[in-house]
Amino acid sequence: MRRHLAILAAAACISGAGLAHADKVEFKNGDVLTGDIVSYDGKVLTLKTKAAKEVKIDINEVKTFSSTGPITVKLKDGTLIGQHAEASEENAISLNNHVYPFSQIKQINPPEVKWTGSVTAGAVVTRGNTFTDQYHAAFDLQRRGEFDRITSSGAYNFGRDENIDTGEKSTSTDNIMLQGKYDHFLDGTKCYLFANASGYKDRIQNLNVRFVPGVGVGYQWIESPTLNFNTEAGLSWIYEDYENEPIKESLATRLAYQIDKTVYDRVKLFHKLEYIQGLESDAGYLINTDVGVRSDITASFFLEAKVELTHNSEPAAGNTKDDLRYIFGVGWKF
């Protein structure tokens, strides 16, 4: 009998300790929810519970909350406080015996600022009645800070055909693209100023280099883990150097947008478009656009299929206005 009572007492202590160590959210209607505080973004408090997993809570419904362990609280003036939170008066919490209204808190457990990105590669090789080699490699990098964003990307495409009768090989595709961009978000808004630059070289088009730096303003209409959409407008400078042709230079206007949407958890649809119009009387325009889909195989690897179109209204002599590519590849993200 004593043994059974001891076991029951130990179980009760363990159960009580589990409850005691849970973070607690008190609602204005008197309800209480326990779990682990994950984050707060100024509008929504995220609580991880055993029963309902992660719960998104409108801060306007919260009276106060407390945590048993330390949380990182970022105030709107930039101050960081690492303390356990104690329940306080309505619409406030207490940290180290000091009361902080919700209106002064910008974030709780803000995400770590780090680089993310992916590397993609694809190839099509045929042997037999035809001998062709097609290769594609690309990368993209992004670092999103509180007030800025840095992005960089690049791609290389190569293709070669071989005449099965003569054995003569000819290069059908050989181009490389690099671009970088810096966005600075104005405090408290979705508006940002940007500076960008892109470089392009295409041996088949006899293009030694096309260099397009620019500046402008953008607006991040939506930014979330599942949907992102932004638009941009600005000025660019186009520098083109073709073999055996005079160098072309022109000031230009630039309009662009980019959107991506995650569906079914593992599938992402993406599309972007850039339109650059030269301002000189004899200047043409450029259009760079793509549309595609990315499907996750694992947490780190994915399959990707996309269509890329580059349109140059004033190509060099002997070249067509459009370059259209269908690209399939496998990638790794980090």
What is the widest separation between alpha-carbon atoms in the chain? 100
Per-residue pLDDT reduced to its tens digit, 102-118: 999 999 998 888 999 99
Cα→Cα distances 85→28, 36, 65, Å: 18, 12, 7
Measure the CA–CA gap between 255 and 232, rounded to whole angstroms.
Answer: 6
The single residue listed with the structure tokens 């770590």 is: 112
Q: Catalogue the E-assigned strands of 23-97.
A: 23-27, 32-40, 44-49, 53-58, 62-66, 71-75, 80-83, 85-87, 92-95
- Read off the pLDDT of each residue in 310-328 and give the average, rounded to a whole number: 90
List the structure tokens of 194: 């940007």
Cβ neighbours of residue 298 under 8 Å, at least 6 residues apart? none
- Read off the pLDDT of each residue in 253-281 and give the average, rounded to a whole number: 95
Q: What pLDDT does residue 333 have? A: 96
With cut-offs at 50, 70 and 90, classify the pLDDT of residue 163.
Answer: confident
CA dihedral (14, 15, 16, 21) positive or negative:
positive
Residue 225 pLDDT exceeds 80 = yes
Q: Report how far Cα 85 is from the mean position of its chain's Cα atoms.
A: 32
- The residues with which 157 forms a beta bridge, in sequence order, are 136, 175
Between 127 and 161, where is the model more confident? 161
Q: What pLDDT does residue 8 have? A: 43
Quick check: helix, strand or coil at residue 206? coil
Delineate the domains of the chain, giving CATH numbers in brackets.
21-108 (no CATH), 115-333 (2.40.160.40)
Measure the CA–CA gap between 278 and 291, rounded to whole angstroms.
Answer: 25
Cα→Cα distances 54→46, 48, 176, 216, Å: 7, 4, 44, 39
Spatial contact of 305 and 295, defined as CB atoms under 8 Å apart = no
Q: Within 10 A of 327 (CB to CB), how many other CB atoms are there?
A: 19
With cut-offs at 50, 70 and 90, classify the pLDDT of residue 129.
Answer: confident
**Residue 245 — φ and ψ, nearest 5°?**
-140, 155
Residue 193 pLDDT exceeds 60 = yes
**Residue 13 — φ and ψ, nearest 5°?**
-65, -45
Q: Looking at 120-124, 192-196, 251-255, which range is the least confident one?
A: 120-124
